[in-house]
Structure 1
Amino acid sequence: MLLHDITLENFGAYRGKQTLNLTPKPGKPIILIGGLNGCGKTTLLDAIQLALYGARARCSGRGTRSYDIYLRDSINRQASPKKAGIKLWFSTTVEGEQRHYRIERFWQLTGKAVRESLAVFINGEMDKVIGEGWADHIEDLLPLEVASLFFFDGEKIESLADPDRAAPVIESAVYSLLGVNTVEQLRTDLLALQRRQKVSDEDRTALDQIASIEKQLEENEVARADALQRVASVRALLLRARMDLKTVETAFAKEGGDLFRRRAELAAQQDHAEKQLQALNDMLANTLAAGPLPLLLLGSRLDAIRQQVTREEEAAQSEQVLEVLNDRDQQLLDLLRNTLTAEQVSQITQHLEADRQSRAVSADIPRFLQMSRGAIQQLDSLDQILSSERARARDLLAEVASLRDQLSVIERQLAGVPDEEVIAGLIKQQDEERKRVSQLEHDLRTMEEAHASAAREHENLTVMRERAYGKRASGLAKAEHAARVVSYSDRVRTTLEKFGEALLQRHISRLEVAVLDSFTRLMRKGELIQDLRIDTSKFTLTLIGADGEELDPGRLSAGERQLLAVSLLWGLARVAGNRLPSVIDTPLGRLDSRHRQNLVERYFPQASHQVLLLSTDEEIDDDLLKRLIPAIAQTYTLVHDDTTFTTTVERGYGWGGTSYVA
């Protein structure tokens, strides 16, 4: 495979269209691309992988984000419209013929959704069939696991610098890159054949149903994971929005915003209270004051009148009694004169006269009121009327006092209402935050419902699958032909297992030699390691020192372990013999000057027929650049504008005294 050129359009920091010619020259395999940290070197490596593998690409900047979110975030902030894309042109040999591929992958932000398109051109003509099945096609050309051994950055070299952590890489490389997995795949296919042979023809419908359900379950798993991630994302946004709203509401309340929103209500309450107070005052003045209530001011006079009326009534009664007694005494004396002596009659007369005179004292009172019986009754009922009026007046006065207190509170609240110009900005901000929270709550409910729907669908599909398996198991029967196929398959699988072990041992032996040779070339201490062994079961590295004893990897310096990681990748590529380009991002890491010189002189020019080096100014410096120039085919510098936060591609390489343009 050979990479010819790549075009980045509004991808990451690359604004507009930026094109790099990646074609090497005879004897000059290196394309040197320089840039300071943050200029977009790793973004360029991500772009190559994204163009080839799409959602499966192992891009460094993706993290745990979903593919749609990663695409959306990778669009240059200044792009208008919000659209980005990558074009990659490469060639490779397919069935003995060289074939040129141009991959054009574009995506555009439409509302909240990201729409992606992929076009595949083969020898200049669009091929829709291969474009639709590109994920499978690229696996035939360059499997993702294999590509990870040729497209790597300094961080991967750091992770491989630990021999224990290198075991999974060695295992993956041996099986995928060196063809051992082909034997394993044959054994797996034979096992699948055995399982298929155990199924009768009548069971074919059940198998198709199970396959359909399994496919739906896989799609449902993707949908559930995506829905869950969207729920988490919206929930986080909602939490942040609620915190923002709370902050605005706190500031709003501090400025008197609640009183401002209630100003109309307070004004209405004030008007209502004033009208009630006026009505009560009118009632006190026009109703109670105009009635008998003022008579309460004449309490002592009314008591004197009552006493005088009582005395006049008693005098009138005494006067009537005297008249009756006078008539009675006269009749009694007339009767006694005939029977008694004159002296006795005189004594009785004196006694009766004295009695009348004593009674006449109470009747001799001035009677200037001379009230009638009706007037006296009205005077008697006046106390009850005045008591009722007094209680009514007290209630009204208490209500007046309460209304005045209420008005005082309302007036103080109205006095504290802030000016509209002061609070207008906070009102607008509060309304906007509330709308934002409301929208996010609606989005969250929608996302949660989508996730719940996907979960219900998963449960239903699981039940359907169990039923389908149960139905299949109930009708499963062994056929003689199937048993024969199973028997032969077992024999072949046993043979393939032995063959695979032998093939694995052969490749491991070659790999041990290649890695040791690569490490010896790169090391300045040629006598440090005498031998190198790889365990075929655990795929761990064992280093043998110059004394023939095992060498603890911890005794190696950080730079030496990094060179060991590079030797591992180089040895794998040499044993595999695949003509694949190598893309190396920030390759020199913690290496000292001597180790860097060895990499520059011995590894980079021979790593592959095409080597893309993504370096900082402190890695490939002036001295190393001079040593590397004989192997350089193209040079570029990624120039970052700190004011616009965008990167452009310029020809040439160099920051110091040496600048080289190829």
Structure 2
Amino acid sequence: MIFKKLYLQDFGVFGGSFERNTIDLQPREKDGQLRPIILFGGLNGAGKTTTLTSVRLALYGRQSLGKAVTTTRYHEFLSESIHNPRNQLLAPNSAAVQLDFDFGRRGEVIDYSVKRSWSKSGNNVTELLEIYQNGELIKGLTDEQKQSFLNELIPIGVADLFFFDGEKIANLAEDENNAVLADAINRLLGIDIINRLKADLSVYLRSQKKDKMPEDVQAQINILEAMYKKQYNLYQEALSNLESKKIVHTDLFARKERQLQTVNELGGAWASSRQAEEAKELQLREEKNSTTNQIKALLADTVPLSLAKTQIDALLQQLTAEQKLKKERLIEEELNARISAIKQSLLKSLGSDFQQQIESTIEAQKLQVSNDFDIIHDISDSELSRLLHIVNLVVPKQQAEMETLCTRLEKIEGELEASGINISRAPEEKRIESYVEELSKIDKKIGAIGSEIEQHTKDAKDALKLAMDALRKLRDHEKQYSLSSSITKSISLAENTRDLLSQFAVKTRERRIATLEKEFLKSFSKLARKDDLLIKARINPETYSVTLLDNNGNAIEKQKLSAGEKQIYAIAMLEALGRTSGKALPIIIDTPLGRLDSKHRKNLVRNYFPTASHQVLILSTDTEVDEDFYQELAPEVSHAFEVEYDPQDGCSTYKEGYFWRA
């Protein structure tokens, strides 16, 4: 992935249109080398952090502010982010950010533009998200589906490892209970596909077992399923009422957001389009079959001849030459026969005295055809004419038809692939049942806030209890019958596969954590000073708790690390997490050197920034990356921007250059 350009319109301290606030982010080549670092310099408060904020906002919207942010708070943020100029009678009532970037998918580099704009009218804020792919606006998606599309390109959990600021470093450095690290590790493991497979197998097992039950047991199960769905819908309705109050404690709401985000990652935003996508997929498959049959028919006819054009041309030349030779030999035979007859007639008339003169004259007039060329095929004129018709007319026509059909088939297969992805994103309703219980626990705690909130929480609790009772009885019936009936081979295989997937998830987690430990040691070793402890990290694959070890394998308490060692620990862990994720994303680092001493800063400048990624955006003050550090970075710096703030206009601008260097 490569960030190309960032556009700001009346966003924060940056006033004016996109034309005025366009930032070129693409690394440039200098002295035959593509340089990865783009440096942004600005005094505190000038607006350099807006670069990081605008990138995250363009890609993630409300999620860019954190998990515990309500829609109301997000709209307040958008409203507050509209530029408020000084000395102007009319202030703007809208703003926008746009990010252009290239993204590689399945070996193809795709050009994307994401534009997020919003306007306010009174207390209302209206937001518009537009996504362009290779210059074409992506249509037909809801706002939730657009955001899901962006989340699939660059999951926000992974982006947190690449787009971070000094606060993120500080939180990780001071993370005594490993909560921040555990959340980061859990996000990058990438075993969601395994969990989806397990959920699908569970749905399959329930369906298979139900079909093998007696009719009276099936009837009881149908009643319990209907009761569960009814109560679950009531529970969802109560949650909706609760959400509408917008009065949720930050910590509790954050836990609920994480749970809802999990449902969305399973494809919840795509559920409404599943039926239409399935119908579209069926139509595309029928069209694919028809197109494939037409291609097969052409392949069974003359199209294969187009694959041997050189040989066919040589054959036609041979056949044409043979036909010409055959005609010449026929003419030779007829002409020579007539000449011989004339010879005999002359001899008879003139007598033998003139025989030698007659023969020499006649022999000189005979037609001589070359015998160096052999006739191999000896086909008739009609057969040659038919072959020429096929090669010159039929083959080109069918070849053009074949190209048209192949182009159409390729387009159909692309549409089928896109349709299949959309269908796979849409979950079956049963796949989210396992998340209901956790949501109920959260909502029971939320019920303590306000009288109306308490009533809504009680409704949710009662509905969910009934749903869980129905679900428990449903499982008891299934379990009881499963124990008393024989399990078919398909069910047995499905159960074994589900167990195998669980084991695979454990092994995958262990391998990824082992990789993370190795990457951390590499990162910390190159960033630490010579007098720092050489720290190793051991991460528990179950709890994600981290134990730091010294050279002798003795445990080290993080509290005993110096402030600089803690900062280097955090940066090394972020780099290790990013490398373990396997994602090739740009890195944006805001004020990364504020808490480091000069030696740690030097190691970071020399050993981290130049190799952190193929594109590194550093947001710094003049005291962080000063003249000495700038000289260290210079061979890797593509270009730089300085953020200048005009206190009279209350407006900032980007200009190329870095403080003392134009």
Give TM-score scaled by structure 2 length: 0.59
Answer yes or no: is the 8 Å Cα contact 1:153–1:584 preserved in 2. Answer: yes
In the alignment, the residues of structure 2 paired with residue 528 and residue 173 of structure 1 have an alpha-carbon distance, to the nearest angstrom, of 24
In the alignment, the residues of structure 1 paired with residue 68 and residue 183 of structure 2 have an alpha-carbon distance, to the nearest angstrom, of 23
How far the C-alpha of 1:494 sits from its partner, in A, is 2.7
Aligned to 2:584: 579
Q: Tell me the amino acid that sits aligned with residue 124 of structure 2.
A: A
Give the 5 Å matches for 1:18-417: 18-25=21-28, 27-58=34-65, 66-78=73-85, 80-130=91-141, 132=143, 133-162=145-174, 164-165=176-177, 167-191=178-202, 202=222, 209=230, 212-225=233-246
| Aligned match for 1:491, one of 482, 485, 496 | 496
Aligned to 1:400: none
Query: Aligned pair 1:608/2:613, yes or no?
Result: yes
How far the C-alpha of 1:60 sits from its partner, in A, is 12
Answer yes or no: is the 8 Å Cα contact 2:232–2:463 preserved in 1. Answer: no
In the alignment, the residues of structure 2 paired with residue 460 and residue 63 of structure 1 have an alpha-carbon distance, to the nearest angstrom, of 22
Q: Tell me the amino acid that sits aligned with residue 613 of structure 1.
A: I
Unaligned runs of 5+ in 2: 211-217, 251-449
How far the C-alpha of 1:560 sits from its partner, in A, is 1.4
How far the C-alpha of 1:12 sits from its partner, in A, is 1.4
Answer yes or no: is the 8 Å Cα contact 1:530–1:546 preserved in 2. Answer: yes
In the alignment, the residues of structure 2 paired with residue 202 and residue 651 of structure 1 have an alpha-carbon distance, to the nearest angstrom, of 69
Give the 5 Å matches for 1:380-459: none
Aligned to 2:10: 10
Give the 5 Å matches for 1:633-644: 633-644=638-649
How far the C-alpha of 1:85 sits from its partner, in A, is 1.0
In the alignment, the residues of structure 1 paired with residue 526 and residue 137 of structure 2 have an alpha-carbon distance, to the nearest angstrom, of 46
In the alignment, the residues of structure 2 paired with residue 493 and residue 61 of structure 1 have an alpha-carbon distance, to the nearest angstrom, of 34
Aligned to 1:270: none
Deviation digits for residues 93-149 of structure 1, max 9, x if unmatched? Answer: 234322222111111111221111111111111112346311211221111111111
Q: 1:15 to 1:577 in 2, by over 3 A?
A: same
Answer yes or no: is the 8 Å Cα contact 1:636–1:652 preserved in 2. Answer: yes
SS in 1 for 2:245: helix
Q: 1:187 to 1:126 in 2, by over 3 A?
A: same
Q: 1:117 to 1:527 in 2, by over 3 A?
A: closer
* Structure showing greater Rg: 1
Bigger shift: residues 544-553 or 572-581: 544-553
Q: 1:487 to 1:174 in 2, by over 3 A?
A: farther
Answer yes or no: is the 8 Å Cα contact 2:589–2:618 preserved in 1. Answer: yes
SS in 1 for 2:167: helix
Give the 5 Å matches for 1:476-487: 478=478
In the alignment, the residues of structure 1 paired with residue 146 and residue 642 of structure 2 have an alpha-carbon distance, to the nearest angstrom, of 32
In the alignment, the residues of structure 2 paired with residue 61 and residue 463 of structure 1 have an alpha-carbon distance, to the nearest angstrom, of 26
Give TM-score scaled by structure 1 length: 0.59
In the alignment, the residues of structure 2 paired with residue 506 and residue 43 of structure 1 have an alpha-carbon distance, to the nearest angstrom, of 38
Aligned to 1:565: 570
| Aligned match for 1:659, one of 653, 657, 661 | 661
Query: Aligned pair 1:508/2:513, yes or no?
Result: yes
Aligned to 2:287: none
In the alignment, the residues of structure 1 paired with residue 198 and residue 642 of structure 2 have an alpha-carbon distance, to the nearest angstrom, of 50
In the alignment, the residues of structure 2 paired with residue 135 and residue 523 of structure 1 have an alpha-carbon distance, to the nearest angstrom, of 39
How far the C-alpha of 1:219 sits from its partner, in A, is 3.2
SS in 2 for 1:86: strand
SS in 2 for 1:12: coil
Q: 1:616 to 1:63 in 2, by over 3 A?
A: farther
Q: 1:620 to 1:74 in 2, by over 3 A?
A: same
Give the 5 Å matches for 1:461-480: 478=478
Deviation digits for residues 452-510 of structure 1, max 9, x if unmatched? Answer: 88876776676666666677778885476997677655433332232222222222222
Bigger shift: residues 560-569 or 50-59: 50-59
Bigger shift: residues 89-98 or 604-613: 89-98
In the alignment, the residues of structure 2 paired with residue 124 and residue 482 of structure 1 have an alpha-carbon distance, to the nearest angstrom, of 58
How far the C-alpha of 1:580 sits from its partner, in A, is 0.9
Unaligned runs of 5+ in 1: 230-450
Identity percentage over the alignment?
Answer: 34
How far the C-alpha of 1:207 sits from its partner, in A, is 6.0
Answer yes or no: is the 8 Å Cα contact 1:520–1:526 preserved in 2. Answer: no
How far the C-alpha of 1:61 sits from its partner, in A, is 13
Q: Tell me the amino acid that sits aligned with residue 100 of structure 1.
A: D
Q: Tell me the amino acid that sits aligned with residue 35 of structure 2.
A: K
Answer yes or no: is the 8 Å Cα contact 2:59–2:150 preserved in 1. Answer: yes
Q: Tell me the amino acid that sits aligned with residue 115 of structure 2.
A: E
Q: 1:228 to 1:100 in 2, by over 3 A?
A: same
SS in 1 for 2:542: coil
Answer yes or no: is the 8 Å Cα contact 1:163–1:540 preserved in 2. Answer: no
SS in 2 for 1:529: coil
Answer yes or no: is the 8 Å Cα contact 2:8–2:96 preserved in 1. Answer: yes
How far the C-alpha of 1:25 sits from its partner, in A, is 3.1
In the alignment, the residues of structure 1 paired with residue 179 and residue 610 of structure 2 have an alpha-carbon distance, to the nearest angstrom, of 27
Answer yes or no: is the 8 Å Cα contact 1:46–1:59 preserved in 2. Answer: no
Answer yes or no: is the 8 Å Cα contact 2:38–2:616 preserved in 1. Answer: yes
How far the C-alpha of 1:163 sits from its partner, in A, is 5.6
In the alignment, the residues of structure 2 paired with residue 579 and residue 528 of structure 1 have an alpha-carbon distance, to the nearest angstrom, of 30
Aligned to 1:597: 602
In the alignment, the residues of structure 1 paired with residue 492 and residue 110 of structure 2 have an alpha-carbon distance, to the nearest angstrom, of 43
SS in 1 for 2:641: strand
In the alignment, the residues of structure 2 paired with residue 163 and residue 83 of structure 1 have an alpha-carbon distance, to the nearest angstrom, of 39
SS in 2 for 1:71: helix
How far the C-alpha of 1:30 sits from its partner, in A, is 1.2
In the alignment, the residues of structure 2 paired with residue 639 and residue 170 of structure 1 have an alpha-carbon distance, to the nearest angstrom, of 36
Answer yes or no: is the 8 Å Cα contact 1:120–1:130 preserved in 2. Answer: no
In the alignment, the residues of structure 1 paired with residue 578 and residue 107 of structure 2 have an alpha-carbon distance, to the nearest angstrom, of 21
Deviation digits for residues 239-295 of structure 1, max 9, x if unmatched? Answer: xxxxxxxxxxxxxxxxxxxxxxxxxxxxxxxxxxxxxxxxxxxxxxxxxxxxxxxxx
SS in 1 for 2:538: strand
Q: Tell me the amino acid that sits aligned with residue 569 of structure 1.
A: L
Q: 1:474 to 1:185 in 2, by over 3 A?
A: closer
Query: Aligned pair 1:534/2:546, yes or no?
Result: no
Answer yes or no: is the 8 Å Cα contact 1:516–1:532 preserved in 2. Answer: yes
Q: Tell me the amino acid that sits aligned with residue 70 of structure 1.
A: F
Answer yes or no: is the 8 Å Cα contact 1:210–1:465 preserved in 2. Answer: yes
Q: 1:3 to 1:568 in 2, by over 3 A?
A: same
Answer yes or no: is the 8 Å Cα contact 2:172–2:181 preserved in 1. Answer: no
